[in-house]
Structure 1
Amino acid sequence: MSISNRPLRGDRRREVVLSGAALVDVRPWSEARSVLAVASPAAAAGYVDLAAWIRAHRPRVDALLLEHRALLFRGFGVDAPERFAEVVAAASDGDPLDAPGDESTPRAEAGAKRVYASTFYPQHQTIDMHNEGAYCFTWPRKIFFCCITAPGGRGETPICDVRRVLARIPLEIQARFEARGVRYVRNYNAGVGLTWQQAFYTDDRAKVEAYCKAHAIEVEWLDGERLRTVAVRPAVQRHPITGERLWFNHAAFFHLAAREADVRQALVSTYGEDGLPFQTFYGDGSPIDPADVRTILDAYDAERILFPWARGDVLLLDNMTVAHGREPFEGARRVVVALSEPQSVS
């Protein structure tokens, strides 16, 4: 088995000794931050089956994830969706999750059950930092990525610690969001974003209404087969194990001010302020200052960690603590994703 020769920052290593044999080395990605550790087969270990290793040493993997909140498994040769699915099952409590019912981007299975293409966004575009499903009533606590084909250039999946993001946001902005929450308004229009049929995986209005009722989403049917939904969610959540305060929302990600000026103008010109595919407000319906949106986006940017993908890499994130995005890329890039361990608004 080949181990990537891409250099990794930091040279402090800790040996994980298992059954009398040092099978896997674990080291922090950076001495400056606790988030992200890299696990790879020890030089003398030969081939290590990652799924089998995780099954045999699950408590150790869980402890490492709680310590670092992001684990990059490199050199294990997980280069097919079926093998990735085995890793996900080994590292999860319960079965991997189906795609949620109120998707914001298309989601299609990619070679194995409940393994999905990570995104269909054009390769020249950047995807801003976000925690998966933070706008939803139920979200995954764990999110897994696997690099089947490494990009020819760029294409990283940047990550950041939302505890540190929260610490960078001025206290007065934090207080407003924590007191009022976030109101998510979505308009399902033909042409931009998903139709409601695509987002909810059905063309039956009754099924959409039942899903929305169960997930605390208000429904308004408009003319021309259009749908508007409104949901109010907390801006800050508590980690289910540690109780830490986490900046866990899509307040900036979905806000019009996060788009480029020409995109903002085109969207408002086409759909009007009330018909935008996505927009966010405070939970009481009052507007969020675009300057505050910029402050939040800057906080994410200041905490970003980048690493280059290598074929066969598996990245496991504590989704409530670690946000992710995507950089533009060149060449072919195939990164698949899986979700597990649902958490819900309390």
Structure 2
Amino acid sequence: MLVTALPGQSLPAVIEPDNDLSILDVIKENRAEIRSLITRTGAAMFRGFEVGGVDGLHDVVRALSGAPLDYTERTSPRSSLSGNVFTSTDYPPTEEIFLHNECSYQAQWPMKVFFYCLQPAETQGATPFADVREVYRHIDPAVAEEFIRRKWMYVRNFSEMGGSWQYFYDTDDRSQVERYCGSQGIDVEWVGTDGLRTRAVREPVHPHPVTGEPVWFNHATFFHISSLPQIYQEEMLEMYGEENLPTNSYYGDGARIPDDVMKHLQKAYRAALTRFDWQADDLVVIDNMLTAHGREPFTGGRRIAIAMAEASDAPVEP
């Protein structure tokens, strides 16, 4: 295999064929080296290989990381393409999706996330990446220390308008929701006839299980209403009021996070952002604790499949 870099981009590293080996044969022969590359750089892209569609993605995930994980404790609308391979977030193409680490609001999360380009957009449509080690370096130490001391809380409201708890928890059994939330450190409050409000307090910084380095790993910025475009902020506040927003972030003690702090965090993510244009059959694997991802607006029939693997509470494999 040939390891290169995209011109002028720090992410992802690029793995290209230098012989006639298939992508699965390349992984089989170089698995330890590829995994080390992902941990070192944060992301690696297979380019120039015939992946073989969604079934081929399944095979790659299993070869590199084992069985793909289910999408639990959902926060984004996605559709299953096959088993535990899903569409990327089904939001309107005119909307940007801000940088975030997949499922970093959960007590457990996937260590690897796979992105596979079935069809690139006509314009834009990149999946921007940001090394969260670099994000952390851009955050004022006083801001980071405040979060570390107070932690961060995310609040979710489930309703017919904001998205039902039945969809996001994939059940209509309240007791099942309560059992799951209790096991994950999530407080449950049933609201009205069929509404649900949940609260959870999480750490903003975590040690990486392989490298040991502290990484900025949370959804505090992504869940905060100020990360939405201004027009959506106004519409959401008018529709729900702050208390009933579908998602929002606070300090761990429940206090509001000042606007200037959120702007500072948003700026730190954007300062570390890199982007590239998808080509059909590109397949990117990220270390989810080291690399945040987002989505540009786009035109055309963009289709990106995703799969998640390697639960963070499973035995660590280098």
* Letter of the 2:114 counterpart: F
Contact 1:181–1:233 (Cα < 8 Å) also in 2:
yes
Question: Structure 1 residue runs of 4+, over 3 Å off?
Answer: 30-33
* Letter of the 1:98 counterpart: D
CA RMSD of aligned residues (A): 1.5
Out of 68, 80, 85, the residue aligned to residue 96 of structure 1 is 68
Out of 1, 7, 23, the residue aligned to residue 50 of structure 1 is 23
Q: Tell me which of the two structures has the higher relative contact order, counting C-alpha pairs closer than 8 angstroms and 6 or more residues apart.
A: 2
Q: Which has the higher helix share?
A: 2
Query: What corresponds to 1:27 in structure 2?
Result: 4
**SS of the counterpart of 2:188?**
strand
Q: Which range moved further: 48-57 or 137-146? A: 48-57
* Letter of the 1:181 counterpart: K
Matches within 5 A, 1:99-118: 99-100=71-72, 102-110=73-81, 112-118=82-88
CA distance in 2, matches of 1:32, 1:191: 40
Contact 2:77–2:91 (Cα < 8 Å) also in 1:
no
Out of 181, 185, 194, the residue aligned to residue 216 of structure 1 is 185
CA distance in 1, matches of 2:8, 2:303: 30
Counting matched residue pairs gives: 314
Gaps of 5+ in 1: 1-23
Matches within 5 A, 1:139-288: 139-192=109-162, 194-288=163-257
**SS of the counterpart of 2:215?**
strand
For the pair 1:333 / 2:302, whether they are aligned, the reply is yes
Shift of 1:53: 1.9
TM-score calculated relative to the size of structure 1? 0.88
CA distance in 2, matches of 1:156, 1:188: 30
Contact 1:73–1:315 (Cα < 8 Å) also in 2:
yes
Query: C-alpha deviations, 1:97-147, integer Å up to 9, x for none?
Result: 0111x211123211x321110110101110000000011111000000000
* Letter of the 2:2 counterpart: D
Query: C-alpha deviations, 1:269-306, integer Å up to 9, x for none?
Result: 22122111111111111110111111111111111111
**SS of the counterpart of 2:104?**
coil
State the identity as a percent.
38
TM-score calculated relative to the size of structure 2? 0.95
**SS of the counterpart of 1:122?**
coil
Contact 1:106–1:198 (Cα < 8 Å) also in 2:
no
Contact 2:98–2:295 (Cα < 8 Å) also in 1:
yes
Shift of 1:175: 0.4
